[in-house]
Structure 1
Amino acid sequence: AGHPALLRLGGLLHDVSKPETAKRQGGRLRFFGHEAKGAERSAGILERLRFSREETDWVSTWVLHHLRPGNLAAAGAVSDKAVYRFFLDLGPKGVSQLLVCWADHASYLAPKDVERALPAAVQEPGRPMPRWAKGDAAKTIHHMRVVAWLLDRWFRAPEASRPELLLDGRDVMKALKIKPGPRVGELLRSLEEAQAVGKVRSRKDALAWVSRQPPPPPGQA
């Protein structure tokens, strides 16, 4: 599913539904919902071309989420929670999706400017822009920084993108004196996020965190 040809196909199809969603609003051409419609259209195209279900799922997922890193960039600082939730939703697909996204943003610059921008584009978001980067160039470099930062978190900081749980269900049930049920799973998911954002760093921290959580309502497992 990570084959370069499939990535190129994802890049080709990521804006496939812009024509059918185009609307002029406030003097600008907008494409609301093109990512969702594009995911459906991409899946149909790949099915007709006899791609496998896995390949179809990967490409349609890239198309559906291709705006997400840009939306994170537009929101300003990328929080630890945002990094965690991005990879929680996308998992390994998020890595290759970020490559498609990088190519998308890099295409806004001329090739010579992409080469010029690379040193700044791989720095952590929030660093000062190079003096020459203004307007659209600065925006594009910021978006590329966010993409690079998300990739960095996946490869260099797995504890931030997909932490290994410090406790299991038995630990949670013992700490809260509760029986198996949905609440155990809810707490484990919340604990994973607490680890990802740095609120919980050790097994001792995890047990203390669990002990502060409310048990399920009476009568519910």
Structure 2
Amino acid sequence: LITLFHDLAKPKSIKRINNRIRFFGHEREGAKKIARIMGRLKFSNKEISIAEKIVKNHMRPGNLLQAKILTERAIYRFFRDLGDETVDLLLLSFADRHSYLKIRATKKEVSDYKKFAGLMIEKFFKQKELEKREKIVNGHIIMKKFGLKPGPIIGKLLKIVEENYVLGKIKTTEHALEFIKTKCKRLLRNLQNS
């Protein structure tokens, strides 16, 4: 269903810019439309949420590929945002691009995208393995070390630590706490003063 309807909003978002047809924002509008359709068809909330996420993000893999510099941080955030739907999205994106690249692309472009999708899937499963490791720091440790109270900021700090841990920039609990102290100084100062 997602494959059939991921470009549903293209007609509504069509624009001609410098003699090129563009569909800016069709992914966001398409996500809303597919949610409404699936709701009427009595799909579960979980299924609707998955479909929305995939349709809303189906342009991201192509944008990552076209980035001049594809950083590990950008890849990490892509995987974090898509979660378990990452592989499905990459396969949809490959099929989508393959369908129109055949018309106006070289074999090299199709091959490059295939390699990119394969590499991203491989990296995704490696990252999932890293995320299964025991956490090097938790909210209680952070609150005790910095004299903080429970709240959303603890979650933000944990998210920053997790990202840098998976990227290999943090290796131990001590390193994580030092990282928070130096990299998040302003944030900590504001918290401790409130």
Q: How does 1:55-94 map to 2 (within 5 A)?
A: 55-94=47-86
In the alignment, which residue of structure 1 is the partner of 2:146? 176
In the alignment, which residue of structure 1 is the partner of 2:89? 97
- Residue by residue, what CA displacement relative to the aligned partner does 1:30-89 show, whole Å, maximum 9, x if unpaired? 111111111111112212222222212211221111000101111134211111111221
Q: 2: distance between equivalents of 1:162 and 1:143? A: 29
Alignment match of 1:24 (pick from 16, 20, 39): 16
Q: 2: distance between equivalents of 1:146 and 1:160? A: 21
Q: CA RMSD in A?
A: 2.4
Report the alpha carbon displacement of residue 136 of structure 1 after superposing the two structures with TM.
3.9
In the alignment, which residue of structure 1 is the partner of 2:31? 39
Contact 2:127-2:166 at 8 Å conserved across structures: no
Q: 2: distance between equivalents of 1:137 and 1:27? A: 25
In the alignment, which residue of structure 2 is the partner of 1:192? 162
**Higher helix proportion:** 2
Q: Runs of 4+ in structure 1 displaced over 4 angstroms?
A: 159-164
Report the alpha carbon displacement of residue 177 of structure 1 after superposing the two structures with TM.
3.2
In the alignment, which residue of structure 1 is the partner of 2:113? 143
Other structure's SS at 1:107 match: helix
- Per the normalisation by structure 2, the TM-score is 0.84
Q: 1: distance between equivalents of 2:21 and 2:133? A: 41
Other structure's SS at 2:50 match: helix
Other structure's SS at 1:194 match: helix
Q: 2: distance between equivalents of 1:82 and 1:160? A: 17
In structure 1, the gaps of 5 or more residues are 1-8, 111-134
Other structure's SS at 1:180 match: coil
- Residue by residue, what CA displacement relative to the aligned partner does 1:117-161 show, whole Å, maximum 9, x if unpaired? xxxxxxxxxxxxxxxxxx543333333333222211221332567
Q: How many residues align?
A: 189
Q: 1: distance between equivalents of 2:154 and 2:48? A: 34
In the alignment, which residue of structure 2 is the partner of 1:54? 46
In structure 2, the gaps of 5 or more residues are none
Q: 2: distance between equivalents of 1:146 and 1:202? A: 32
Q: 2: distance between equivalents of 1:156 and 1:194? A: 15
Name the % identity. Answer: 36
